[in-house]
Amino acid sequence: MIGITLVMMPAQTAGLNQLPNHLHPHGTAILNTLQQVSGAIGTALYISIMSGGQKKYLSGASDPQSPAEIARGLAAGIHNAFWIGVFIALIAVVLGLFLRKEKSPQHEQAAG
């Protein structure tokens, strides 16, 4: 969660800096909406990955009804979800390295 905090503010600031000042309220509303929707989609995605990993593990288990096997299957599903999360985070880090700071349209008008 600390990493999310460290990433969200600079990302939102970089996004809002691309807008003229009179559109900042609309940009903020859109970013907040996207943040909520993306959080819901991400949660559903990771739960689906976890459930799929558990189902795959239990399909190969000798006794899939055993509480110990169910716990191992859950751990296997969580393991899969975390590895997918690491992969997505690495892609985000690489993409983040290509972000450039550009002047907002209002700064360009003032300079021109």
Kindly report which listed range (42-46, 80-84, 87-91, 98-102) carries the lowest average pLDDT score. Answer: 98-102
d(CA 50, CA 56): 10
pTM of the predicted structure, to 2 decimals: 0.70
List Cβ neighbours of 79 (8 Å cut-off, separation of 6 or more). 53
Reported as a pLDDT band with limits 50, 70 and 90, residue 104 is: low
**Amino acid identity for residue 66 in this structure:** S
Residue 18 — φ and ψ, nearest 5°? -80, -10
Tell me if 52 sits within 8 A of 77, measured CB to CB.
yes
pLDDT in tens, 85-99: 999 888 988 887 887
